Amino acid sequence: MLIYSAPIGYPMNQLSIVNLIFEKKIRNHIPVTRMAVSDFGDVMLAVPDAYQPRLYRLARISPLGTSAELGTFSVEKVQHADLSPDARVFVVDTIDDVYVFRDWEKKRFFPNSRSNYGNISLSASGEVFVVALADMIASSHSVALVNTGGAQVWVKSFPVNITSLRISTDALYVLVGFGDGSAVLLDAGRKIVWRREFDYPVSSVAVSPDGELSVVCTRDGLVYGIGKEGNCLWETDCESPVVNTAIDSIGANIVIASNSDDRSGMIRFLSRDGMQRVEHYTRSGINSIAISPNGRFLAVSSQDGTFAIMEVNQTSGSIRPTDKIKAFYEDAADSLAKDDLQSAADAFTRILELSPDEVDACRQLIETKNRLVQQCFDQVEELIEEDGVESAFERIKSAAAIDLSDIELLAKLAELRAKIVKKALDEFAEIERSGDLEKAAEKLRTVIGMEFTNLKAREQLRYINARLLDLYVSEAQKSICDDPDKAVELLEKALPLTERLDVQDLLAKALSAQAMAQGMSLYSENRYLESLVYFRKALLFDPNNTEAHRYTEYASNLRHDDAHFDRFRKLE
């Protein structure tokens, strides 16, 4: 469906048409993240499970509308998220916690920081991320650069609240926007590259990998292009508050999303010099946008739950890009010499995108794909024999993406998938006999990821989950007094498995006990004002906590600085 054609007179070889190629209402999906779109238009999207609370399913949706589940993860209500392009690493935050998933293994960061979290942004490699932190009374603000392997690299404090945050894909720069209308660009060592003041609070930012172009958007709709020296390259007015911005891998295409008072949205496509090329209205306000690295595809998440994929076409003009075609032929030849078939196929594909009449490139692409398919089949068979069920399934998904129109390929893939599923179920039976229920449940989820409608696996998962639930609740009840942290951890595992009110009530008591223990630690250090925050937090979770009532009164009477206490009370 043609959305918009740029006015006559636009330069050749520039963006001119946007086509809507997929649109569907996917309620409650996590707004699309900035690196979720591939160069071929596939988009990764996380959606809450319809039946299990706190469980999210991560899927890859193609421009044709087909989808494949990549896996599942479990956390509380997601506030922000960011995924690496291969989904091997992703990071999410809730109001109280930050979680990193590396190869689907969950790790909690800052467990005792007593902070609230805002924006979060991940590098393309998945090695590092940045997160905005604020203390519980919002009196101090900072940005932390963190290695996803577990180490905090640095923290930089700021005097005002952080409203937007973005790390460049290569992790060399961090762009931060603030509520007072200022913005700052940091290098990888947290040194300030530039700082600028704007007239209105910053609402969204983006930075090119080379740091040569930073895009700063404000709540009044003004958008600025800032150079590496902090100089203003250009300025444009969107006339409505900007909610999100995206930039491709070389900074050539910039996309700005804004929402108007009538709850509709507007998407504007800009060139690197700030010239507006295309604009597109949406029926509902926009939550987020993401552009593919090559600038060809755009994904949009709207406030009414609509998810859309758009193709950004460029006019080809009358000039044949022979230099680029020659370079891609050379890349393909080098890749074939190294037996890197996927890179060779990508090079031939890029040639055909630039010049559809390249018959030789088309012929070589067909031959390369056939070799690639056979290579995938051989590797899948080897992985199955070597007990690499998960690796075999990942490889088979790669094979499926090679050519969706090849009926023989799809039939062979179905046969191999059945072998993988059978082997995975055999592995589950062995794990269950060993008594490792958590690992058994994970294996069943792997089977369901391979074969979504496997009723036997789902029935077994229900049985295992019921046993796990009883185990978690029983252990939590034993440890709630002596080790509330352990009780909270167990009950957070239990909650996605049930909607039972008694489990929710027990978690509230555990959280109350946890807050009480934190408050008592501060109270014993004569830090009465700080301890009061946790005693009151304990009462929020459990109003009947008599000990929390008692120590709330003690801490209030023992405060040493009435002026500070009055300030704290106003902040509350």
Query: Assign residue 435 a region: left if phi > 0, alpha if psi is -120 to 50, beta otherwise?
Result: left
Residue 229 in this model has a pLDDT that exceeds 80: yes
Which phi and psi (to 5°) does residue 424 adopt? Answer: -65, -40
Q: Note the pLDDT tens digit of each residue in 484-503.
A: 999 999 998 888 888 788 88
Report the Cα 465 to chain-centroid distance in Å: 27
* Res 564: pLDDT: 47
* Secondary structure class of 75 (helix, strand, coil): coil
The 10 Å CB-count burial string (b at 16+, else e) for 401-417 is ebbeeeeebeebbeebb
Q: What is the 3-state secondary structure (H, E, C) of 417-479?
A: HHHHHHHHHHHHHHHHHHCCHHHHHHHHHHHHHHCCCCHHHHHHHHHHHHHHHHHHHHHHHHH
pLDDT attached to residue 7: 36
Whether 120 shows a pLDDT value over 80: the answer reads yes
Ordered domains of the chain (ranges, CATH): 2-314 (2.130.10.10), 322-435 (1.25.40.10), 469-571 (1.25.40)
Q: Residue 122: left if φ>0, alpha if ψ -120 to 50, beta else—which one?
A: beta
Mean pLDDT for the stretch of residues 51-72: 87
Q: Cβ contacts of residue 14 below 8 Å, gap of 6+?
A: 6, 271, 277, 314, 315
User: If we measure between CA atoms, which residue out of 538, 530, 521 comes closest to residue 558?
Assistant: 530
pLDDT at residue number 395: 64
309-319 mean pLDDT: 63
Residue 318 has what pLDDT? 40
pLDDT digits (tens, 9 = 90+) for 500-516: 888 889 999 999 999 99
Read off the pLDDT of each residue in 215-229 and give the average, rounded to a whole number.
93
How many angstroms separate the CA atoms of 296 and 294, rounded?
Answer: 6
- Decide if 211 contacts 172 (C-beta within 8 A): yes
Question: Is pLDDT above 90 for 390?
Answer: no
Residue by residue, DSSP assigns 293-362 as: TTS-EEEEEETTSEEEEEEEEE---S---HHHHHHHHHHHHHHHHTT-HHHHHHHHHHHHHH-TT-HHHH
What confidence tens digit (pLDDT) does each residue in 340-385 have? Answer: 888 888 888 888 777 766 778 888 888 888 887 777 777 766 766 6
Which of 11-25, 84-98, 190-204, 537-551 comes out lowest in average pLDDT? 11-25
State what percent of residues in the chain have pLDDT above 70.
85
Burial of 377 (0-12, 13-18, 19+ CB in 10 A): middle
pLDDT band at residue 387 using 50, 70 and 90 as cut-offs: low
